[in-house]
Chains A and B, each alone.
Chain A
Amino acid sequence: MLPTLVEQLANDTAGLSLPRSAPEVTLVVTIVALLLARVPAALRRIDPVWIALTGALVALGCLLGEARGGLAAIEPVELFTGMLRHDALGVFSRGLLLMFLVMMVVLSKLTGLASRDDGQDFFVLLFGATLGMCVMCRANHLMTVVLGIEMASVPSYVLVGIVKGRRRSGEAALKYSVYGAAAAGVMLYGVSLLAGLLGSVHLPTLGLRLAELQVASLAGDPSQRGVIMALALAGVLVLVGMAFKLSAAPFHFWAPDVFAGAPAEVGAFLSVASKTAALVLLLRLVSLVLPHGVSVDAALPGEGVSRLAAMSDAGPAAPARAFVVGLIATAAAVTCTLGNLAALSQTNAKRLLAYSTIAHAGYLLMPIAAAIALAEHDPAGASGAAAAVMLYAAGYLFLNFTAFAAVAAIRNTRGAETIEDYAGLIRTAPVTAVAFCLAMIGLLGLPPLVGFWGKLAALRALVDAGGPWMVMLLVVAVLNTALSLVYYLRVVKTICLDAPPEDAGVERPERPTRLLLAVGAAPILLLGIAPEWLARLAGEACQGLFG
């Protein structure tokens, strides 16, 4: 018995799981290398950025290797005895994360955040967080869910306070960690409730158990009503944890202070990478745990992916799904409106971007609600909605990276981070200014920039889903877009139209920085004009996600 088990485990790990986790392994190796590089004096002269860059690129390369045959060809498999899940979505999202990691490494070097001396710490934290996010992206087990979130969060807390000696920075880090710890606690409670109620920690199995429960029939049984209440509570508590990571209302309070306190580079990381990972995790949770036409008999727990079969019209967990749709839709609408409203009167660029991040979390949640609503009758449509999330997130990556990178670049040249200080930037630093403006207009969602297509796909998903919730979301999204114009345009106006301050000297960032900004901004336009490539990738990544 035991040897067989060991053999199986070994086979599973070495033959199946490890080869498919090469990027993660690379990240771990890089972290170790970064730490070790400090020890021998000979290696100390090496700038850690090279190690980090190499590591990040190799990781990205490994990932591209995984995606070699095209995303559509990737067969979903469970790794590490069901702890992780390897599928197209995981590859795509990790691809985004690792690409972003490369960009972050370069950016932090160029803006001087990761200096020769401190760089090692910074990169270790960055890589550690990314590793956690990769785990989040592939989670297939309540334990990996919690583990991933914590692995991603803890280094982030430190990253926020990475600049030593700045009071606001430290304060922000403290707030973030306390808030994060509280949220994690809440989530952990929800997770344990869920596991206890349903008797499993494996996500697909959870889904099956939920289906077996036949929530609708439970309601009729007075003695079982408590179970429903507890389930609802568990779901809500888990979602609270997700909401914290996504900075969705009403759990967004940390975001403005943290973004304002943290260096802009870290802000970029938090707003893009952290959010992408959280979104993917949320998609995983809703696609796996909320059953959609799962045949109870046909599926064998713990063995591969649950097999799907057509079931009766109203799935066993239809009420649960409707409940989650309502919850997410409400959160999306509130988050979006709140973020935009609060952003209207911001004067600090980073705070403004923080609220913009909140607002976009709202937009991003909308298609997830649509996906859940669609899952029942139109799995392909639901997958399409998930693809809209990924398309949006991919575009958002470039937009927010460019915006934060520009903020960092301007901070280094002008030494200021309030919007008024950006006056006349177009004259003194045209590349930065154009990149920033592109990012702003892209975030606003004007075609033909990349932000529009994500938004269009999201709204299209809402329309596909139909129903009062979705129409409400459509209205909210459309009105918020108009609302957000005011503050995005104010930045553009300040940069392009206002006169530069008189004492403005040579303010152009160094050539490499400009190059990086251009590299970040070019996809905004190029992917905006030819978005099909990205849209197809996102589509393939999410194909079959909902069956």
Chain B
Amino acid sequence: MTVMQQLITIFLCSAATILMRFLPFAVFSSDKKTPAYIRYLGKALPGAVFAMLLIYCLKDVDLLHGSHGLPEAVSVALTVSLHLWKRKTLLSIAAGTLCYMILLHFIF
């Protein structure tokens, strides 16, 4: 690829991202009333999307090979239990991450 072609590739990626981010706001502009169905989606989506993002983060876990997803399972379980106990977001995240790094480094 020439430098020009590389730049075009970069700008196309930027354009696609901007398009996807702005499209909902452009279609449902603030001056018109948003249709009830879309408002419903806006309210109902976060739960589903957070679940999807969590699975997206864990998509590389291979249950059948390697460490069988054990370090991930243990670290997520620790994050969840600590959070249910203390309800301190930063603490839960830090502990879960450290746990994962330690498991990866020393055990798996």
Chains A and B form a bound pair? no
Which residues of B are interface residues toward A (Cβ below 8 A)?
none
